[in-house]
């Protein structure tokens, strides 16, 4: 600042921020050597707050309005600089104008997909976007940590850090609550509430007050979206057999309404058969794996000899008795499953035993 600016500053007694650009959150009022006269006019416009800082510490704050600076409305500065004890005007202090209006529709989104483990689709990659709003609070953190010696501090410098924290918290939120991919669309409000509660302390750490947080959209990859659409279509169809019959009925109705004779009738019948064939194929259950039949049990026969029941005998034993003459063609035999006694020669599994035995001499 030149000599002329230095001399002019001795006569300037109005402190104000007349050009609040939309992206500026904090503005430092420029005065030569930070000299401020007692009795100067401080003009704070709506949506602003003025804060006096002495040696890096927040002193007095003023809301919107026109204020005449005096020891009465600047008690902290008065105490710090010992004005009642001979400290003469002008005094040195930095004045910061803070924008207090709500910063609306601040965008956030996931630059890279967020991985989610889903019970239905396995590992799913999600993308999300939304908006939030906030305003700046009066805290030493905002001025000492972020503003520092800068004359202006804009929202872009701060929101880059905020978005990184939002994405990290969003990933944690999905992992903690384990919401299925099919249920995400119905949980936007719940997720937004979880995120606002989770981010309140983080925004406070930056010297901000988080006012709203909204999840606008969650998108999944195309292959997962197709799988969801197919599942929704199956649910809408319901019973596939009834659906096929409904299609066949519509085909019959359309064919009856159209003129064209037997050609249309033939097409109608073929369409109905194809619909039934599709229904049958969809409902056909896979054939069970073939199993070997049970091992057959050996038949055991009882033989009537002299009016008495003997046995049971295995087939090998029956063959021996046939060859020895103990059992003849007319011998009565019975086995499990037979309704009554029968001649041995009439049983298929025994008749072959008699082929090598001559019949009785007539």
Whether 42 and 27 share a structural domain: yes
Whether 8 and 68 share a structural domain: yes
Alpha carbons 151 and 178: distance in angstroms, whole number:
46
Whether 94 and 119 share a structural domain: no
According to the model, what pLDDT value does residue 44 have?
93
Alpha carbons 94 and 144: distance in angstroms, whole number:
13
Whether 214 and 113 share a structural domain: yes
Structural domain containing residue 331? 301-354
According to the model, what pLDDT value does residue 66 have?
93
Residues of the chain with pLDDT under 50: 1, 3-4, 6-11, 85, 261-263
At 226-253, the pLDDT tens digits run: 766 666 565 555 555 665 666 677 777 7
Q: What does the chain come to in residues?
A: 362
Whether 87 and 147 share a structural domain: no
According to the model, what pLDDT value does residue 3 have?
47
Alpha carbons 144 and 158: distance in angstroms, whole number:
14
Domain contains 336: yes
Whether 77 and 156 share a structural domain: no
According to the model, what pLDDT value does residue 210 have?
92
Q: How many CB atoms lie within 10 A of CB 234?
A: 10
According to the model, what pLDDT value does residue 236 have?
55
Tokens representing 113 are 């997909």
Q: What is the CA radius of gyration of the chain?
A: 49
Domain contains 268: no
Query: Which string of b and e fits 102-134 if b means at least 16 CB within 10 Å?
Result: ebeebebebeeebebebeebeebebebebebeb
In CATH, what number is assigned to the domain containing residue 154?
3.30.479.30
> What total of structural domains would you count in the chain?
3
Domain contains 359: no
pTM above 0.75, yes or no: no
Whether 85 and 132 share a structural domain: no
Who's near 180: CB < 8 A, 6+ residues apart? 118, 119, 120
- Is the Cβ–Cβ distance between 203 and 162 less than 8 Å? yes
According to the model, what pLDDT value does residue 159 have?
85
According to the model, what pLDDT value does residue 146 have?
62
Which of the listed residues 181, 196, 223 is the one where a domain comes to its end?
Answer: 223
At 139-159, the pLDDT tens digits run: 666 676 666 666 788 888 788
Alpha helices in the chain (DSSP H): 3-9, 75-81, 140, 155-177, 188-205, 222-237, 240-257, 262-283, 315-324, 348-351
Alpha carbons 147 and 55: distance in angstroms, whole number:
14
Whether 112 and 218 share a structural domain: yes
According to the model, what pLDDT value does residue 11 have?
47
Residue listed under structure tokens 């590992």: 123
Who's near 198: CB < 8 A, 6+ residues apart? 169, 172, 173
């Amino acid at each position: 600042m030149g000599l002329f600016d230095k001399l002019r500053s001795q006569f300037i007694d109005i402190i104000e921020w007349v050009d609040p650009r939309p992206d500026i959150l904090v503005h430092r009022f420029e005065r030569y050597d930070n000299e401020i006269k007692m009795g100067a006019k401080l003009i704070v416009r709506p949506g602003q707050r003025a804060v006096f800082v002495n040696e890096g510490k927040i002193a007095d704050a003023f809301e919107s309005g026109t204020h005449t600076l005096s020891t009465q409305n600047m008690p902290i500065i008065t105490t710090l600089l010992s004005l009642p004890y001979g400290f003469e005007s002008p005094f040195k202090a930095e004045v910061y104008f803070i924008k207090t209006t709500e910063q609306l529709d601040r965008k956030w989104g996931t630059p890279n997909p967020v991985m989610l483990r889903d019970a239905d689709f396995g590992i799913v990659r999600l993308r999300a976007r939304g908006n939030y709003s906030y305003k700046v609070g009066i805290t030493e953190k905002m001025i000492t940590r972020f503003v520092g010696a800068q004359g202006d501090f804009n929202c872009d410098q701060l929101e880059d850090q905020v978005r990184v924290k939002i994405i990290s918290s969003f990933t944690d939120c999905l992992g903690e609550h384990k919401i299925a991919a099919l249920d995400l669309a119905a949980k936007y409000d719940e997720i937004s509430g979880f995120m606002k509660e989770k981010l309140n302390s983080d925004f406070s750490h930056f010297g901000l007050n988080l006012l709203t947080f909204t999840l606008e959209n969650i998108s999944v990859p195309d292959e997962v979206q197709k799988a969801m659409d197919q599942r929704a279509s199956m649910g809408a169809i319901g019973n596939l057999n009834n659906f096929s019959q409904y299609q066949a009925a519509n085909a019959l109705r359309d064919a009856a309404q159209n003129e064209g004779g037997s050609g249309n009738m033939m097409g109608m019948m073929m369409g109905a058969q194809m619909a039934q064939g599709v229904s049958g194929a969809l409902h056909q259950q896979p054939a069970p794996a073939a199993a070997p039949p049970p091992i057959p049990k050996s038949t055991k026969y009882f033989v009537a000899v002299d009016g008495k029941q003997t046995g049971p005998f295995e087939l090998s034993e029956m063959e021996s008795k046939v060859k020895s003459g103990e059992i003849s063609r007319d011998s009565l035999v019975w086995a499990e499953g037979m309704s009554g006694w029968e001649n041995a020669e009439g049983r298929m599994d025994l008749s072959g035993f008699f082929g090598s035995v001559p019949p009785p001499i007539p």
